[in-house]
Amino acid sequence: MADERELTYIGAVAEASRTVLLEQENAFIAGEDVAGAGGVFGSYRGILDEFGDQRIVDTPISEEGIIGLGVGAAATGLRPIVDIMFMDFMGECMDEIANQMAKMRYMFGGSASLPITVITMSGGGINMAAQHSQSLEAWICHLPGLKVVAPSTAYDVKGLIISASRDDNPVFVVLNKLSLRNRGHVPEESYTVPLGEANVVREGSDVSIVTYSRMVGESMTAADTLSENGIEAEVLDLRSLQPMDTEAIVESVKKTQRVVVVHEAVRFGGLGGEIAAQIQEDAFDYLDAPVARVGAPFSPVPFSPVLEQAYIPNAGRIVTEVNELLNAA
Amino acid sequence: MDIGIIANPASGKDIRRLTARASVFDNQEKSAIVRRCIAGIEGLCTDATIHYYPDTHHITAAALGQTELRCQPLDAEFNATARDSTLAAYNLRNANVVISLGGDGTNRAIAKSLGDVPLIALSTGTNNAFPVFCEATTAGMAAALIAMGQLSVDQVAPRTKALHVTFENGETDIALIDVVGTCDVFHGTRAILDPSRFVFAVLSVADPSKVGMTAIGGMSYVVSDARDLGLVLSFPRSDTVSAVHEVFAPIAPGVVRPVRFTGIQEVRLGESRKFSGATMLALDGERERVLKRDESVTVCVERDGPRRVDVKACLEHAACPNPATPLDEERVQKYAN
Amino acid sequence: MELNHETLLDIHRRMVRIRTFETEAGKLAEAGKIPGALHLYVGQEAIASGIMAHLSNEDWITSTHRGHGHLIAKGGEFGKMFAELFGRATGYCKGKGGSMHISNMELGMLGANGIVGAGPPIAVGAAFSIKYRNNKNVAVTFFGDGASNEGSFHEAANMAALYKLPMLFVCENNGYGEYTPQANHQAIVDVADRAAGYGMPGVVVDGMDAVAVYEAADAAIERAKAGDGPSLLECKTYRFFDHVGVRGMGLSYRTDEELAEWQKRDPIHMFESRLAELDVLSKDDAVKIHEDVLAEVQAGIEFAESSPMPDPATLLEDVYA
């Protein structure tokens, strides 16, 4: 495995974007600072030079205009990739997301297709405070018509972006800021990670940790710690949040009988509640304990590094939660 | 001392912003122009009364907020059409001077009823052969000087010419610069757009430095404001008729096109010319009235247009070569604060 | 641009089709036969007709909550439209959209829209598409004076001008944002004044005069196709019916005198008078056209009424492709 090709998480975005533009002549990228600057995180470095300013377009700081551009272009036959720099900015464009993008096909009786990929960033940990650190995936998972993925590895970033771009529906690819420099194996060729399929990243028999995005890494660290104490946790990376791989969740629950759902988003009203509900609907009889949840407290993301560290869930909290769950049973 | 102000909110917004590159006069700019006029007036004259046309866009009303001059809206049954300018002018026929903001069309409407009152015509329109581009502050000062009786109106505001249009049914109309027959059949956007549709034109002024029909005529034969003459142009109705004049003329702001005409004739003051047949009559550049197949119209140039104020002349006449009379100390103090 | 008889009659027919459809739809709504809310286009027909006379199915439009007129002028069939208004399976949107979302992709109609101001950004996307493919088409976004206060309009105007997109912003200024008069919702009177701030020309057009709209659209489309970018046409018009329905909710926000004054300038009556003077369309022939269109509308209503309701099993279809 040592000679496997590696890329960073953010490098995988650039490679996926390039792959999509090569594969699909109707694909283009639009967003703030994407072309000339190559994306504020370097997501699109080199794309402008290779493809020219018709295929990658700098937009004004106009999120509603950007999403509208994507909706109109997609409805009329193009396959836009639009970049919303931070998902916190969805507030600026929620009408075009919720009332136009998500619903147009349905309202039109199925006559329109909207093959749009929205690439955006979630998560805290880099001291960007309350308006640049949120994990708002629950907002968009609540909207019928949208698909949402949240990759945890560079491999999944590339595979999910390529899948999203080939899908004829709007797909949000929710990336994570603190993961950008993480390196991982990424094949050079084009490949897909299917939408709606979770990934068992660690097998275990004592407890299932159901998670996604950067919390997959924290969960893996937690699992190592737990393993030292003889607890074998299974870690399920959902990868897709909408549609969600309920079957994979249920399979894991059947195996371990105990579940902790982990996400960086605020716990109240977060996806953990939905996942817990699905588990009790589909696998209640297999549960030996109530479904536990780890998420951020009910507060805006704080600025001070000390406060922010106290805010964001981490491996230690996951270990504590798992231990409490197992002790309660 | 009574000074009238008529600002036309509709001027400077027509299709020639698309077909040509005509200036845009948004209403905030028009309001600022009025404000500058007021500043000019009150700089010289503190006891004038401003009588203004209360336009639906509140252009003038918005500009009067800070002045200490007496301001009175004209009281008449305005209805937000071009008729308003005529009605406003009628109500200002006893004023000392009137300031207008608009293009040829606005001033044409004002001229219908203004009579002998000197008119300071500030351009905020499109094809402006009648009004002039002029700093509004000094225009306001000129208005004040006239209102205070410090100038000879005959010297600074000579009568312009007007084109009198008489229809068979006895109805009449006027234009200030040009009466054009075109083969359009609808009023549409009112602007006259296409030289190939021109049939005839009667000009009171043929000025190659302006835009529109006056420039087309003026490119061949100059007829100034001062000359007691008009000009009649006729245009070829088919390609087989050979044109006698071909000119490149600015038919609209930013649009220079070749224009051909088959005839060009002088017409004396008071001499009527008759035109008949189905045409659209455009007065001062705007499609106004349909002439039916069996109808005719006569057009006649007269020296009875509005008294148009020459702002430069006003201020030059008022300039004082002798030691200045002392400034009113009270007002100096006011400005010092 | 040549306004030949064929074009004149075409514009006339579009206007009559809108007026008749909307009048009959209004009667059905007031009789309680149409579920939900209808925003009717009566009074504003000259705008949709004068613009759409220039467009083909390859030109895209976005519409508003008052969208029937735009779809009819773009070639919408009465039967499928009434079926949609009635919530039937045979409607343009299979009964899933209704009046406020009526649309047809084949006709280049990107939907009526229940969200005020949502259309302009979408039209920017459609215009981007046209430019991306080097097609010689345009995207037209219709919106009202009320929508011109939404941020979406401003973002779209800026982007369209920035990218020099082949696009028309058509503001149908009917003097009211829902029930609020223009003077109470914006400090300006001419929405066209806003165009200059985005680097595009803006003009004021008599929205009751179909030929004026046609001429202005012609000039704007020529600019757009020549690569000179978007234009804003502000068409001054008036709603003859209420914001919703015909008599609406009976709110007192405008006077009968004001309505009567605008009705004197009924776009169809004015146009028919001129067409008669020009011997393009006699009064008798005009009556015949109204009768023919009414018969077509009635056939459309019958089609809709006899159409099946959607099968509840189709509820979850079309959420995703």
Confidence of residue B12 (pLDDT cuts 50, 70, 90): confident
State mean pLDDT over B5-29: 87
CA–CA distance, C230 with C168 (Å, rounded to integer): 5
Q: Do B18 and C231 touch (CB under 8 A)?
A: yes
Please tell me the predicted confidence (pLDDT) of residue B323: 60
DSSP A133: S
Q: Which of A100, A104, A142, A169 to mutate to test the interface with C (most CBs of C within 10 A)?
A: A100
Nearest Cβ partner for A72 among C96, C124, C162: C124
Please state the rounded mean pLDDT for residues B182-210. Answer: 92
On the question of pLDDT at A33 being above 80, the answer is yes
Average pLDDT over residues C3-24: 97
Q: Which residues of C touch B187 (CB under 8 A)?
A: 209, 211-212
Q: Is the CB of A307 inside 8 Å of chain C's CB atoms?
A: no
Residues of C in contact with A108 (CB under 8 A): 92-93, 96-97, 101, 103, 105, 111, 318
More confident residue, B66 or C180: C180
Instruction: Identify the band that residue B242 occupies on the pLDDT scale cut at 50, 70 and 90.
Output: confident
Is B192 in contact with B284 (CB distance < 8 Å)? no
Residue C154: closest CA among chain A residues belongs to which residue? A65
Contacts of A78 in chain C (CB under 8 A): 128-129, 132
pLDDT number for residue B133? 87
Interface touch B18/C223, C-beta < 8 Å: yes
Picking from C95, C115, C158, the nearest residue to A62 by CB comes out as C158
pLDDT of residue C3: 85
Phi-psi region at C87: left, alpha or beta (left = phi > 0; alpha = psi -120 to 50): left
Report yes or no on chains B and A touching (3+ CB pairs under 8 A).
Answer: no
pLDDT at C45: 98
Q: What is the mean pLDDT of residues A316-329?
A: 91
Task: Categorize the per-residue pLDDT at A1 as very low, low, confident or very high, splitting at 50, 70 and 90.
Answer: low
For chain C, what are the domain ranges? 5-309
Residue of C116, C140, C152 to mutate for A, most A C-beta atoms under 10 A: C152
- pLDDT band, residue B321 (cuts 50/70/90): low
pLDDT in the model for residue C186? 95
Average pLDDT in the B232-246 region?
Answer: 81
Q: Is C139–A72 a contact, with Cβ atoms under 8 angstroms apart?
A: yes
pLDDT of res. B126 = 76
* Nearest Cβ partner for A104 among C111, C126, C317: C111
pLDDT greater at residue B324 or residue B116: B116
pLDDT of the residue at B21: 81
Considering CB atoms only, which of C118, C129, C318 is closest to A106?
A: C318
| pLDDT confidence bin for B322, thresholds 50/70/90 | low
Query: CB A60 to CB C155 under 8 A?
Result: yes
C190 contact residues in B (CB cutoff 8 A) = 9, 13, 26-27, 57
Residue scoring higher pLDDT (B300 or B242): B300
Quickly tell me which residue has 């696998």 as its tokens: A283
Q: Does B26 touch chain C (CB under 8 A)?
A: yes
Distances (CA, A) of C44 to C16, C238, C269: 11, 6, 13
A193-212 pLDDT, tens per residue?
999 999 999 999 999 999 99
Residue A268 pLDDT greater than 60, yes or no: yes
Task: State the pLDDT at residue B328.
Answer: 78
Of B9, B185, B193, the CB nearest to C189: B9
- Partner-chain residue, chosen from C101, C114, C158, that has the shortest CB–CB distance to A60: C158
Active site residue A263: no
Domain C5-309 architecture: 3-Layer(aba) Sandwich (3.40)
Total CB pairs under 8 A between chain A and C: 147
Chains in touch with B (≥3 Cβ pairs < 8 A) = C
Q: What is the DSSP string of A47-78?
A: HHHHH-TTTEEE--S-HHHHHHHHHHHHHTT-
Residues B136-160 pLDDT 10s: 999 999 999 999 999 999 999 999 9
Neighbours of A, requiring at least 3 CB pairs below 8 Å, are C
Contact flag B57-C211 (C-beta cutoff 8 Å) = no
Assess B317–C contact: CB distance below 8 Å, yes or no.
no
Mutate to test the interface with B, among C7, C194, C215 (most CBs of B within 10 A): C215
Whole-number pLDDT of residue B250: 93
pLDDT at B241 over 80: no
Q: How far is the C-alpha of C101 from the C-alpha of A110, rounded, in Å?
A: 12
Q: Which chain C residues touch B13 with a CB distance below 8 Å?
A: 190, 192, 202-204
Do the Cβ atoms of C143 and C170 come closer than 8 Å?
Answer: yes
User: Which pLDDT belongs to residue A329?
Assistant: 55
Chain B interface, best mutation among C168, C173, C200, C203, by max B CB count within 10 A:
C203
Return the C-alpha torsion angle B17, B285, B161, B7, nearest 10. Answer: -50
* Higher per-residue confidence, B132 vs C220: C220
Q: Which residues pair with C171 in a beta bridge?
A: C143, C234
Residue B20 has pLDDT above 90, yes or no: no
C-contacting residues in B 237-266 (Cβ below 8 Å): none
Please identify which of the residues A132, A142, A185, A263 carries the catalytic annotation: A132
Quick: pLDDT tens for A61-79: 999 999 999 999 999 999 9
**Which one of C110, C115, C318 has the shortest CB-CB distance to A95?**
C115
pLDDT exceeds 60 at position C74: yes
Neighbours of chain C (3+ CB pairs under 8 A): A, B
For residue C214, give how far its alpha carbon lies from the nearest alpha carbon of chain B (Å): 8
Residues in chain C with CB shorter than 8 Å from the CB of A57 are 163
C276: pLDDT strictly greater than 80: yes
pLDDT (average), residues C44-57: 98
Task: Give the tokens for residue A229.
Answer: 């104490």
Check residue B293 and give its pLDDT.
86
pLDDT tens digits, B205-229: 999 999 999 999 999 999 999 999 9
**What is the secondary structure of C124-170 as a DSSP string?**
HHHHHHHHHTT-S--EEEEEETTGGGSHHHHHHHHHHHHTT-SEEEE
Model confidence at C111: pLDDT above 70 = yes
What domains appear along chain A, each with residue ranges and CATH number? 6-185 (3.40.50.970), 199-328 (3.40.50.920)
Closest CA–CA distance from residue B17 to any residue of chain C (Å): 6
Distance from CA of A82 to the nearest CA of C (A): 12
List pLDDT tens digits, range A134-152.
999 999 999 999 999 999 9
Measured between alpha carbons, how far is residue C166 from residues B207, C47, C130 in Å?
37, 19, 8
pLDDT value at residue C249: 81
- What's the gap in Å between the CA of B184 and the closest CA on chain C? 9
Q: Work out the mean pLDDT of chain C and round it to a whole number.
A: 96
Q: Which of residues 180-239 of B touch C (CB under 8 A)?
A: 185-190, 193
Tell which wins on pLDDT, B81 or B120.
Answer: B120
Express each pLDDT in C121-135 by its tens digit.
Answer: 999 999 999 999 999
pLDDT at position B337 over 80: no
Dihedrals phi, psi of C117, to nearest 5 degrees: 90, 5
Q: How far is C117 from chain A (nearest CA, A)?
A: 10
Task: Please answer whether residues B259 and B251 qualify as being in contact, where contact means their C-beta atoms are separated by less than 8 angstroms.
Answer: yes
Residue A59 forms contact with C (CB below 8 Å):
yes
Q: Indicate if the pLDDT at residue A232 is higher than 70.
A: yes
**Chain C CB contacts of B292 below 8 Å:** 277
Are C82 and C37 in contact by the 8 Å Cβ rule? The answer is no
Query: At C168, which amino acid appears?
Result: L
Question: CB contact, 8 Å: A164 with chain C?
Answer: no
- B18: nearest CB among C3, C220, C277: C220
On the question of pLDDT at A2 being above 90, the answer is no
Q: What is the ipTM of this complex?
A: 0.95
Which among C148, C204, C222 is the top mutation candidate for probing chain B, defined by the most B β-carbons within 10 Å of its own β-carbon? C204
pTM of the complete model: 0.94
Inter-chain touch A76–C129, beta carbons under 8 Å: yes
Say how far apart CA C148 and CA C167 lie, in whole Å. 16
Computed over every residue of chain A, the mean pLDDT equals 97
